[in-house]
Structures are given as C-alpha cells and as structure tokens.
Structure 1
Amino acid sequence: MPTPCNVVVLLSGSGSNLQALIDKLDPGSARISAVISNRADAYGLERAKAAGIATNLLDHRQYDSRESFDAALIEAIDAHKPQLVVLAGFMRILSADFVRHYAGRLLNIHPSLLPKYKGLHTHQRALDAKDAEHGCSVHFVTEELDGGPLVVQAVVPVNADDSAASLAERVHRLEHQIYPLAVSWFADQRLHLGPQGAMLDGKPLATTGYIFRT
C-alpha cells in the first residue's frame, strides 16, 4: 500500500479550509502531519488539535525581518518532511527564498477568479466592478503574489442583491470543495508543476485551470 502524501498546512485564522481538508481528504492518499500558524489566536490551531494533528506556533513579530522569519518557518516545516505545503489563509507575503525552496509543492487558495483581484477585499472589488461572476482559485505559488499557475477555479454568479458578506459566504463554500480536490490530485500524483505550468494527468491545464461551476 503506498505511503500517503505528507502535507503541512500554514494558516493565520479560523482554519475553515483546514477543516475541509481534514473532513474530505482520503487518509490513505494524503495525511496532514502538522499545522503551523503565525498567530496564537488562530482557531485553526484548535481544529488541528481536535483532529490529533501536531501544531506549531511561530509568531512573526518575534523576528527582525521577513527573511529571518521565513528561514525559521522553513526549518519548522521541513522537520515534518512534507511532500506538499498548503497555504490556508496564511496572511504573510512569503520571501522569494521561501517560495523557491518549495517550488512545485506549494499551493494557495485565493478568493477571486485570478488573475482578477489579487490581494485583499476581493468580494467588494468584484461588486464594485459589477462583475457577473466571481469565485475562487487554487494555484501553485510562485514569486509573483497570487500569480502562480492556476490549478482549479470555482465560479459563482453574482446576484443583484449580493453584499460583500453574502458573496464571500458562497465563495467560501466553493473553496471548501476545490481545495480538497486540488490537494487530492497532487497526493495521487495526478497534479504537478511542469515547464508549461500546472499539469493534470500529464496534460497542461488551461490558463484558467480546471473550471468548477456550481
């Protein structure tokens, strides 16, 4: 029986995407060996403890530079020997050295249809632009902020009466579907990052990634 893919999850907040991974990943395929946070009050740490997953706290405020924090973070992650590192609401901009260290095995989820609305406040920005559709994206992480090759996107229509909060709630539910899907693809060796970008089952994904529609 093959050994499950060893996964480390980084987070800064409530950990709802972590919970989706815990609930939906096949333990025979992928195993979350550790959850690491830069915030002591991150509820995601409690979710991990409840699931019997090792936790680690690295407070970025205790380090004098982004580079020194990232070096300590690499050391903490590598102690668990992961094949995949998953960003699940980790609210830190990562240094180039960190991203290069995990090239091809670092995934992130972002609450917009990238390349639209990189950064913050994505739901309000979609409303302000009067977009007909909004959604979320899983992508490989590169040195470009929210700019790595797309793996899968989930699309939701924007309703006339939507607020940023109502739109965020629907997008969040989609995140909980596509993140476990992408991690499962990677764990099952169906997904990898190649010279042409994200590859699924040996074929390049479109520039938009795999499209998941509700």
Structure 2
Amino acid sequence: MNLKRYILVLLFLFFLLQPEVKSYANVYIVFYATYQGKTGHVGIAVSEYNFVVLEEVINGSKIEKIDTQANSELLYYDFWPNEDQFSVWNTGKNIEGVYYKLPIAKENEITVSTLYQKGIPHKEYYPVDGILKISTTWSQDQQLRKILDKKIVLNKPFNGRRYNCCDFVIEVLENQFGFSFKAKEFIGLGWSSTPNKLYRSMKDTPGFMIIKDAGNKMNGTFFGQRVIYKLFNKKAAH
C-alpha cells in the first residue's frame, strides 16, 4: 500500500468515527423514453465524493474535522437483457442479464453534464431524455452502492415481466428510501414496469426534482409507442 492510499484509509477511518458530520449530495435517475419504436431505459447514478479537512474554532482552539464533499463525478448502474430484442411473446421468460457499473476507467468520467449532452456511454449513444434527482447523504449513498453492488453479485436474470431495468431501479429506491411507485402497465399478456410510467410516477413523488424534463415523450404507453409503432414502422430503432 503506497503512502497516498494509506493516508486516505486513515482519513476514511477517522471520518467514520465522526457520525455527527453529514455531507449532502444527490442520486440521479436517468431515463430514455419509450417513444416512436424505441424501447426506453432507466438507470441510476450515485454521487462520488472527496475527503476534505474542515477547520472549526471552538473556545478559541482550532479543531480539524474530516468531512466528505460530493464532486461532479457519478457512479452509474443499470441492467440490460443480454440480447436487447423485445418481443411481447417472451416478456415473461428469464433470459441472461447484463449488469453495468460505470465508469470502468477514470478518464471516462460520467457527470450530469455528460448524461445531459451525450447520454450513457455504453448503449444508447445519444442524450438522455429525462433526469430526476433526490437529495441524499454520504451514508445513504454508501448504503445504496452496497445494495447495487450486491445485485450485481447475485446476477438475477432479466425478465421483461418481473425484473427489467425499471424493476432494478425501483427495488433499490423502495428498499432504501421507502418510496412506492406505480410503474406497471399492461403489455400484451400481462403487466410490466415501464420507463414512461415510472418517470411519471417518480416525477409526482415528493422528494424528486426534475433536472431534465422529458416532456411529452413520456406520455405514451409502452404498447402504443413500442409494440404498435413497430408493427407499422419496421425500420424504427430498438
């Protein structure tokens, strides 16, 4: 262990011994709309932090405290089917899923700005349609990351009906913060959580703030914008 890493470990341990210190940041929910043949998607991004030393004068003496401060970088998680080819007939089947935790390399940093202007870096390659945020603390974010990392290790299969990209995000937020979302809509043979319905439900949930408004793109149903649209527009994007 080099000296720099050793110092960071000591700072981290020292910080843990100071529970009264709270640092505030945000968790971002990232949306692509189900719109004009596109399936849509949902992911979640958690703030990254720097350790900072704060000075406080108490009874004439300077006291140093270690705090955390959210920086502009984000740790992004999402969940995809291994083969991203939607069909009404296979939505209830388990298929292999792929869990992402990005960025892999420091130079490929993800920020609100990159999501806003460029989109997620591994799949869609165009700006996201909507971004919502909730305010959190450092300790909440660390717990959230543990939950997300555990989901990656468990490697639960993708199921369009019971466990898709929306359910991945919903489970984490409901378990951690006690939210309750109405994200299900009827698609062909049963009910599934969908990006558009989840966006509308989250947007109306107290505690969520709109960073990028997806507007009317989120008003359509999955059946209408994805299933029916594709029937009449064979060349539409997935």
Please say which structure displays the higher CA radius of gyration.
2
| TM-score > 0.5 by shorter chain | no
Which one has more relative contact order, counting CA pairs under 8 Å at least 6 apart? 2
Q: TM-score range by the shorter chain?
A: under 0.3
More strand by share: 2
